[in-house]
């Protein structure tokens, strides 16, 4: 296999988030069985980190063209029409990620404006929510990079 | 055109156009919202994308994916193969038996099939080829056996089913998957065995047999992993999420200190790999949330379920139709997407006919497992054919044989529900 | 057009019945012009009930019948009802919601961008668990209890020595089933209908530590689009549905308790001294939370409850 393009920043972020999830969960099990105490209220943080894992991890996969999709039609096409199709695929992703980024930012801004608090720890809710538009924007950038690579014929297209 | 139709139609078109499943779901949901509701409600793409994945039980998914990766990279597959070879010995079909057996055990450590398929293929393909098995046959057999990973606990697909279907106990689902998973393995083995004898693959004298005691000692850490996961859940010591993190910790210890095939740098890389795979799976869950929201608000799922129920009064007929539909969907789609897209439609049907939700979940999982090695889109086959250095098309004939084999196992579980429900019942779970 | 109404519980529970009644009355009184469709199980917010209020404010949900607990992340004043042992009986509840304090709460909701219409009731929340009968605060030591909605519950249960964990209802039942949590607190109607006894919750303590009212509410833009006549119709229907539901659910309480006992759940009723021990143990919660909720509101509510 030839070396795959990387989204280093998101990869490090996703890796760190998953490491912290594993450490919190593991510490919780150990502490609960050893001391009968627990810090179950930290579940809010684990759930937030899961969101980071998801979108940062998805950005890495996006850079590598690694998302699950059906490549049948694409592979059957001659190079010219295939490039058109790749551009259209890029456009479809762009619309979805654009909507998520825009409405995610709106959601985070509204919760900031209305001063909503998180249900578990009572911290400002936007601290968590703002990562959706940020990471969605990162995905959008990776999508553009990936689409340009593929249009230049630089990425394998089997899926 | 009705918004229902536009939404489902655009989803189909986007899929065919090669748009990633997750984006196809999100965009089709947006089409439904714009045409059937109001453009303001596109705000669901912010709120519901987040809500769909911000759920505590979903934490088990990246952790079980990580468990699978760690065990594969810790070199347990090679040790399991040696032990199974020592146990079975060289005979016609011996290595086929070893491959199936090792896939089943690996399935007890990982939550989804493709990585298992890759690990077993890398270890077994060279020796199977040397022993005379055709590469396309070996690649298909391993791909098919590895698909049992979503039946044998832990299973990412079953975790998702327990979240989508309210009131189903994940531990009951996990227990219910075990025997159907083994049955599926046996169903694959029978034709493999028969074909090996008929074609004279693997003459009894050609392969050297490892020492039993030593290979068993080496395989113990790997054999203990499924025991830890299932036993921990059974004893009430762990919740599913805790079982996942315990399994990760155990895998780290095995890889770093017992097999010593892992180091910290490699571990860090594996966590990143698990996060990336989780990103793929969870993005589908996030954007299926938009599709589901739009389908709920438009009444699409309600209408489809009502239409399905009018097709037949006979539960068996409808179950057969559903299974055929899922089989066809499985040719194109992955397990997670199928669960997320079909469950809102199938839950009302399931309730209408009073089907046991645990049993129904297992039937779906078996069916979706088959989809993992049915061309054209077959995640497991893709990795094994890559390892084997052959084209996917070469496996078509063998794939049909093994699809038929596992379909018979599926039929048996459909006809005799206790194959799935006996174990969770004995363990005292609500089924 | 059809308007969406979000609820957390289905019409098997008084909560869902309140929403159904509202829809029924609106349809009847508008001669079918206005249709409300009820979506239970927080499905419009993918099961995350603490995001229901935000979604209604955004316009993703037109209307909702929601619990004060679930809306408290967005409206801090709603934590009032979660203050432990503020309202000892139904008269106290009615005095708070029906009086000046109730108006102050409705003003607070409106100032956060949603139009409140009427009160309903989820009921007094009682404590259950799978481990032991709870007679005194010490019995709660180390128990992992599922709560939802506000860090106030974290403070209450921590003060009692338990391990609270925040979890939506969609996740709670599986968590109880697998033993991920030991206990939960909910009204008797929820314990009864959701068959919480079947997930190993063998012990139930009647401690009446709080009562969460339900609130009927509408998205502001949707509200402004209705002509004055229809607004009055919607508000009156909500008030009638709420009153109907409150009476019905209070009337069913004794039968529910009998049914729960029938199923072998060990029910603990606290005597005055035992009850006081819980009141004393949770007093610190008021110090932290009165400033967050508002001195004036807490004082008004406390007096209303006292002079009931
Ligand atoms: Na598995
Ligand atoms: Na397939």
Q: How far is the CA of B17 from the centre of ligand 2 (A)?
A: 17
- The answer to whether B69 contacts chain A (CB < 8 Å) is no
In terms of average pLDDT, the best of A14-18, A76-80, B79-83 is A14-18
Please give the Cα distance from B328 to B332 (Å, whole number). Answer: 7
Most C CBs within 10 Å, among B29, B57, B172, to test the C interface: B57
Q: How far is the CA of B104 from the centre of ligand 1 (A)?
A: 8
- The answer to whether A110 contacts chain B (CB < 8 Å) is no
Q: Which ligand is nearest to the CA of B158?
A: 1
- Whether residues A17 and B275 touch (CB distance < 8 A) is answered with yes
Cβ atoms C79, C150 nearer than 8 A = yes
State both tokens at B175: 């227990």
What is the reported pLDDT for C287? 94
| Those residues with Cβ within 8 angstroms of residue C267's Cβ, 6 or more apart along the chain or in another chain | C204, C205, C206, C257, C260, C261
Please give the Cα distance from C174 to C200 (Å, whole number). Answer: 11
State both tokens at C168: 């939506």
CA distances from C132 to B94, C143, C264, C266, C282 (A): 55, 10, 14, 9, 21
Strand C163-166 with C35-39, pairing:
unpaired
CA distances from B61 to B277, B341, C44 (A): 10, 19, 24
What is the reported pLDDT for A156? 59
Residue numbers in C near A121 (CB within 8 A) = 151, 154
Nearest CA-CA partner of B51 in A104, C62, A17, C178: A104
pLDDT digits (tens, 9 = 90+) for B254-309: 999 988 889 999 999 999 999 999 999 899 989 988 998 999 899 888 888 888 88
Q: How far is the CA of C51 from the centre of ligand 1 (A)?
A: 34
The DSSP secondary-structure symbol of C132 reads -
What is the reported pLDDT for A159? 42
Which phi and psi (to 5°) does residue B314 adopt? -90, 115
- More confident site: A71 or A48: A48
pLDDT digits (tens, 9 = 90+) for C125-155: 999 999 999 999 999 998 889 888 788 998 9
Pick from B10-19, B173-182, B217-226, C264-273: least confident:
B217-226
> In chain C, what percentage of residues exceed pLDDT 90?
82
How would you classify residue C121: left for phi > 0, otherwise alpha for psi between -120 and 50, otherwise beta? beta
Cβ atoms C180, C163 nearer than 8 A = no
Q: Give the minimum alpha-carbon distance from A33 to chain C in angstroms, rounded to a whole number.
A: 11
ipTM (interface pTM): 0.91
Under the banding of pLDDT at 50, 70 and 90, the label for residue C94 is very high
Cβ atoms C72, C152 nearer than 8 A = yes
The DSSP secondary-structure symbol of A117 reads B
pLDDT digits (tens, 9 = 90+) for B328-337: 888 878 788 8
- Whether residues C142 and A36 touch (CB distance < 8 A) is answered with yes
Residue numbers in C near B57 (CB within 8 A) = 171, 174-175
State the residue for tokens 């007929």. Answer: B317
Nearest CA-CA partner of C206 in C39, C89, C295, C300: C89
Most C CBs within 10 Å, among A54, A113, A120, A128, to test the C interface: A120
Please give the Cα distance from B210 to B218 (Å, whole number). Answer: 12
What is the reported pLDDT for A135? 97
Q: How far is the CA of A152 from the centre of ligand 2 (A)?
A: 29
Here the contacts of C279-285 (C-beta below 8 Å, separation 24 or greater) are: C279/C84, C279/C85, C281/C137, C281/C159, C281/C160, C282/C84, C282/C85, C282/C156, C282/C159, C282/C160, C282/C209, C284/C155, C284/C159, C285/C83, C285/C84, C285/C152, C285/C155, C285/C156, C285/C159
Q: Taking the CB of residue C114, how many other CB atoms lie within 10 A of it? A: 23
Q: How far is the CA of B176 from the centre of ligand 1 (A)?
A: 12
What is the reported pLDDT for B122? 86
Please give the Cα distance from B148 to B145 (Å, whole number). Answer: 6
Alpha carbon dihedral C42, C44, C46, C49, in 10-degree steps, equals -40
Under the banding of pLDDT at 50, 70 and 90, the label for residue A37 is low
Chain A neighbours, 3+ Cβ pairs < 8 A: B, C
- Whether residues A120 and C154 touch (CB distance < 8 A) is answered with yes
Nearest CA-CA partner of B274 in B237, B233, B245, B298: B245
Please give the Cα distance from C112 to C212 (Å, whole number). Answer: 19
What is the reported pLDDT for A3? 61
Residue B236 has pLDDT above 70, yes or no: no
Entry pTM? 0.90
Q: How far is the CA of B109 from the centre of ligand 1 (A)?
A: 6
- Segment B19-47 shows an average pLDDT of 94
In terms of average pLDDT, the best of A82-96, B237-251, B389-403 is A82-96
Cβ atoms C167, C160 nearer than 8 A = no
pLDDT digits (tens, 9 = 90+) for C156-193: 999 999 988 877 776 777 778 777 789 999 999 999 98
Most A CBs within 10 Å, among B279, B281, B288, to test the A interface: B279
Q: Which ligand is nearest to the CA of B399?
A: 2
- The answer to whether B235 contacts chain C (CB < 8 Å) is no
Here the contacts of C25-28 (C-beta below 8 Å, separation 24 or greater) are: C25/C237, C25/C240, C25/C241, C26/C233, C26/C234, C26/C237
- Whether residues C45 and B48 touch (CB distance < 8 A) is answered with yes
- Whether residues A121 and C112 touch (CB distance < 8 A) is answered with no
| Those residues with Cβ within 8 angstroms of residue A14's Cβ, 6 or more apart along the chain or in another chain | A52, A53, A56, A57, A59, A60, B272, B275, B276, B279
Cβ atoms A53, A18 nearer than 8 A = yes
- Segment B384-403 shows an average pLDDT of 89
- Segment A85-111 shows an average pLDDT of 96
- Segment C265-282 shows an average pLDDT of 94
State both tokens at B235: 């004893």
- Residue ranges of alpha helices (H) inside chain A are 8-35, 43-63, 72-76, 79-113, 126-129, 131-151
Pick from A126-135, B334-343, B353-362, B412-421: least confident:
B334-343
Q: How far is the CA of B106 from the centre of ligand 1 (A)?
A: 7
pLDDT digits (tens, 9 = 90+) for B110-153: 877 787 888 888 888 888 898 889 999 999 999 999 999 999 98
Give the 3-state DSSP-derived string for chain B, with helices as H, strands as E and coil as C: CCHHHHHHHHHHHHHHCCCCHHHHHHHHHHHHHHHHCCHHHHHHHHHHHHHHHCCHHHHHHHHHHHHHHHHHHCCHHHHHHHHHHHHHCCCCCHHHHHHHHHHHHHHCCCCCHHHHHHHHHHHHHHHHHHCCCCHHHHHHHHHHHHHHHHCCCCCHHHHHHHHHCCCCCHHHHHHHHHHHHHHHHHHHHHHHHHHHHHHCCCCCCCCCCCCHHHHHHHHHHHHHHHHHHHHHHHCCCCCHHHHHHHHHHHHHHHHHHHCCCCCHHHHHHHHHHHHHHHHHHHHHHHHHHHHHHHHHHHCHHHHHHHHHHHHCCCHHHHHHHHHHHHHHHHHHCCHHHHHHHHHHHHHHHHHHHCCCHHHHHHHHHHHHHHHCCCCCCCHHHHHHHHHHCCCHHHHHHHHHHHHHHHHHHHHHHHHCCHHHHHHHHHCCCCC
Nearest CA-CA partner of C241 in C9, C16, C18, C4: C18
Q: How far is the CA of B112 from the centre of ligand 1 (A)?
A: 6
Q: Is C128 helix (H, G, I), strand (E, B) or coil?
A: strand
Residue C87 has pLDDT above 90, yes or no: yes
What residues 227-246 of chain B have any CB closer than 8 A to a CB of chain A?
A: 238, 241-242, 244-246
Alpha carbon dihedral B230, C172, C181, C292, in 10-degree steps, equals 150
State both tokens at B398: 């063998």
Cβ atoms B320, B310 nearer than 8 A = no
Q: Which of C54, C151, C154 shows the shortest C-beta gap to A111?
A: C54
Which residues on neighbouring strands pair with residue C212, listed in sequence order?
C123
- Segment A6-21 shows an average pLDDT of 95
What is the reported pLDDT for A1? 45
When the pLDDT of each residue in chain B is averaged and rounded to a whole number, the result is: 88
What is the reported pLDDT for A36? 64
Nearest CA-CA partner of C179 in B243, B255, A122: B243
Q: Which of B44, B55, B280 shows the shortest C-beta gap to A67?
A: B280
- Whether residues A44 and C58 touch (CB distance < 8 A) is answered with no
The DSSP secondary-structure symbol of C81 reads G
**Count of all residues that appear for chain C in the document:** 308
What residues 117-156 of chain A have any CB closer than 8 A to a CB of chain B?
A: 129, 132-133
């Amino acid at each position: 296999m030839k070396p795959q393009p990387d989204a280093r920043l998101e990869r490090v972020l996703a890796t760190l988030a998953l490491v912290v999830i594993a450490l919190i969960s593991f510490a919780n099990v150990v502490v609960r069985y050893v001391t009968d105490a627990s810090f179950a209220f930290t579940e809010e943080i684990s759930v937030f980190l899961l969101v980071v894992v998801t979108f940062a991890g998805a950005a890495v996969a996006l850079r590598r063209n690694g998302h699950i999709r059906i490549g049948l039609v694409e592979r059957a096409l001659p190079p010219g029409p295939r490039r058109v199709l790749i551009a259209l695929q890029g456009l479809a992703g762009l619309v979805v990620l654009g909507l998520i980024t825009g409405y995610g930012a709106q959601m985070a801004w509204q919760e900031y404006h209305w001063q909503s608090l998180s249900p578990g720890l009572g911290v400002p809710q936007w601290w968590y929510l703002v990562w959706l538009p940020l990471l969605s924007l990162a995905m959008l950038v990776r999508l553009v990079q990936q689409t340009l690579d593929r249009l230049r014929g630089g990425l394998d297209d089997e899926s | 055109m009705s918004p229902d139709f536009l939404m489902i139609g655009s989803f189909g078109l986007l899929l065919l156009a090669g748009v990633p499943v997750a984006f196809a779901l999100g965009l089709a949901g947006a089409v439904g919202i714009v045409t059937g509701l109001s453009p303001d409600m596109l705000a669901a793409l912010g709120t519901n994308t987040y809500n769909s994945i911000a759920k505590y039980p979903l934490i088990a998914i990246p952790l079980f994916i990580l468990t699978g990766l760690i065990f594969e990279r810790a070199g347990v597959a090679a040790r399991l193969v040696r032990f199974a070879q020592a146990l079975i010995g060289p005979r016609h079909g011996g290595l086929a038996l070893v491959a199936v057996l090792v896939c089943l055990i690996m399935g007890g450590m990982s939550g989804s099939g493709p990585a298992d398929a890759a690990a077993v293929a890398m270890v077994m393909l060279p020796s199977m080829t040397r022993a005379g098995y055709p590469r396309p046959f070996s690649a298909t057999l391993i791909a098919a056996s590895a698909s049992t990973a979503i039946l044998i606990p832990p299973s990412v697909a079953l975790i998702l089913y327990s979240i989508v279907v309210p009131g189903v106990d994940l531990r009951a689902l996990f227990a219910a998957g075990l025997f159907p998973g083994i049955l599926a393995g046996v169903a694959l083995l029978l034709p493999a065995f028969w074909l090996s004898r008929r074609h004279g693959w693997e003459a009894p004298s050609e392969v050297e047999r490892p020492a039993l005691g030593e290979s068993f000692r080496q395989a113990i850490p790997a054999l203990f992993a499924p025991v830890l996961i299932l036993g921990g859940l059974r004893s009430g010591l762990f919740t599913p999420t805790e079982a996942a993190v315990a399994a990760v910790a155990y895998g780290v210890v095995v890889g770093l200190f017992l097999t010593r095939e892992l180091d910290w740098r490699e571990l860090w890389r594996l966590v990143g790999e698990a996060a990336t795979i989780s990103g793929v799976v969870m993005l589908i869950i996030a954007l299926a949330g938009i599709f589901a929201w739009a389908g709920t608000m438009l009444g699409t799922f309600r209408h489809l379920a009502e239409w399905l129920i009018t097709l037949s009064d006979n539960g068996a007929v409808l179950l057969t139709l559903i299974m055929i539909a899922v089989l066809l969907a499985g040719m194109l789609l992955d397990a997670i997407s199928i669960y997320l897209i079909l469950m809102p439609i199938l839950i009302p049907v399931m309730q209408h006919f009073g089907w046991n939700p645990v049993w129904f979940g297992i039937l779906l999982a078996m069916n979706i497992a088959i989809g993992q090695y049915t061309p054209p889109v077959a995640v497991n086959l893709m990795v094994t054919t890559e390892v084997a250095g052959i084209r996917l098309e070469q496996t078509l004939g063998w794939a049909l044989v093994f699809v038929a084999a596992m379909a018979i196992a599926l039929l048996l579980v459909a006809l005799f529900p206790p194959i799935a429900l006996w174990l969770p019942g004995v363990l005292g779970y609500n089924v | 057009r059809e308007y969406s109404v979000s609820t957390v519980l289905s019409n098997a529970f008084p909560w869902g019945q309140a929403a159904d009644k509202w829809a029924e009355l609106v349809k009847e009184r508008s001669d079918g012009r206005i249709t409300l469709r009820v979506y239970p199980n927080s499905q419009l917010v993918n099961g995350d009930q603490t995001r229901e209020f935000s979604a209604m404010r955004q316009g993703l949900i037109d209307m909702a019948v929601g619990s004060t607990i679930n809306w408290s992340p967005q409206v801090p004043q709603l934590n009032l009802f979660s203050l432990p042992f503020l309202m000892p009986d139904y008269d106290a509840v009615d005095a708070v919601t029906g009086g000046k304090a109730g108006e102050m709460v409705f003003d607070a909701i409106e100032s956060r961008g949603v139009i409140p219409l009427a009160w309903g009731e989820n009921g007094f929340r009682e404590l259950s668990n799978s481990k032991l009968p709870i007679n005194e605060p010490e019995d709660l030591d180390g128990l992992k209890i599922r709560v939802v909605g506000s860090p106030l519950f974290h403070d209450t249960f921590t003060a009692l020595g338990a391990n609270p964990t925040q979890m939506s209802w969609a996740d709670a039942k599986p968590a109880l089933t697998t033993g991920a949590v030991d206990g939960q607190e909910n009204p008797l109607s929820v314990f009864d209908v959701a068959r919480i006894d079947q997930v190993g919750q063998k012990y139930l303590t009647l401690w009446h530590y709080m009562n969460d009212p339900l609130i009927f509410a509408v998205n502001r833009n949707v509200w402004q689009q209705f002509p004055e006549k229809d607004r009055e119709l919607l508000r009156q229907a909500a008030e009638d549905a709420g009153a109907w539901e409150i009476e019905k659910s209070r009337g069913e309480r004794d039968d529910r308790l009998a049914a729960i006992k029938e199923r072998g759940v060990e029910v603990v009723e606290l005597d005055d001294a035992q009850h006081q021990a819980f009141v004393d143990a949770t007093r610190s919660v008021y110090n932290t939370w009165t400033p967050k909720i508002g001195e004036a509101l807490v004082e008004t509510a406390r007096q209303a409850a006292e002079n009931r």
